[in-house]
Chain A
C-alpha cells in the first residue's frame, strides 16, 4: 500500500513527464542535435553502372564510357565541382597526405548542387585521337570527352615492368566552402589507368 508521500512523488513525476511532452515540439525546433559523420563521396563506375568492366586497354578512335558519381552527406546542400584531368604515368596525381590537388590543369568539368543525402551520376564518354607510337614512346594528341575535344599532347614511355604505355584519366572533387566563399579541393579523387595500345 502506497503512503501519502509516495502518491505525491507519483504525481510530481507525472507532472514532469507531462511538461516534457508539451515542451517537445518547441524543443525539437530550438535544439539541433549534432548529426553523424559529414563527408562527400566521389566514385567512378563502369559502362554497366557497376564497379566492373572499367576501360583499361584503349586504342585510338574507340569510344569508352564510365560514370562519375558524387554523394553529399555533409548535412546541408553543397556546391560541387568535378574536374576531369588527364596525364601520363609520371604526371602527379592529387596528394592524399597534403590534401593537394594534381597540378595538372583540368580539361572537362561538372558543376552541381546537391541536397543533403542526394547522389548524382553522370556519364563520361571519352575517346583518343592522334595516337602515335614511336620507338618506346606513345603520344596522344587529342582526348574527346562528352563530344568536346581537347588538345592534350601527352607522351608516355613504355613501362617495362607493367608492359604498357600508361596514362591516367582522373576526376577530382572540389566543394564550395561557405566560410571562405571559395571552391576548395575536398581531397577526393578517382583515377582510371589506361594502357594505350594499337589493338585492344
Chain B
C-alpha cells in the first residue's frame, strides 16, 4: 500500500492527473483497513479475503502508475522545452524589435535636432 502510494506520489510530482489512481488507492486502503480490523478481531479468514482484494487493487494501481509516470514525465519535459523555446525566441525577437525601434527613434530625433534653427530674440 505504501509502495503504491509512493508510486502515485511520483506520478503526481511528474504532473499527471492522479484522480483515477487515488480513487483505486482509496478503495485499496478501505479494504486493507477492513482486513486489519478483521485480523485484530480474530477473524483471519475474512482478513485474508479483504487483504487479497486490497492486494489486487494495489497491484492495478502500481501497474497504472508506472505507465502514467513515464508518459507524464515526457509530457512535462516537452511542455518545459516548448516554454523555454518560447521564452528564448520571444525575448530575442522582442529585443531585436526594440533595438530597431531605438535605432529608428534615434535617427528621427537626430534629424529633428539638426533641422532645428536657433531662435534669436
By a beta-carbon cutoff of 8 Å, the part of chain A in contact with chain B is 4, 7-8, 11, 14-15, 18-19, 22-26, 29-30, 76-77, 79, 81, 105-113, 115, 148-150, 176, 178, 181-183
Contact = CB atoms under 8 A, between A and B. Distances in A.
Given A113-B29, A181-B2, A26 B37 contact: no
Contact of A148 (B25, B32, B37): B37
Contacts of A108: 37
Interface residues of B, number: 37
Given A19-B91, A77-B9, 18 more contacts: A4-B106, A7-B105, A11-B98, A19-B94, A19-B95, A22-B90, A24-B87, A25-B83, A25-B86, A26-B83, A26-B86, A29-B80, A77-B8, A77-B12, A110-B30, A111-B32, A113-B8, A178-B9
State the majority secondary structure of interface residues on B: helix
A176 B2 CA distance: 7
Contacts of B83: 25-26, 29
Contacts of B102: 8, 11
A113 B25 contact: yes
State the majority secondary structure of interface residues on A: mixed
B40 A105 contact: yes
B98 A15 contact: yes
Contact of B6 (A14, A106, A178): A178
Interface of B: 1-3, 5-6, 8-9, 12-13, 18, 22, 25-26, 29-30, 32-33, 36-37, 40-41, 79-80, 83-84, 86-87, 90-91, 94-95, 98, 101-102, 105-106, 109
Contacts of A4: 106, 109
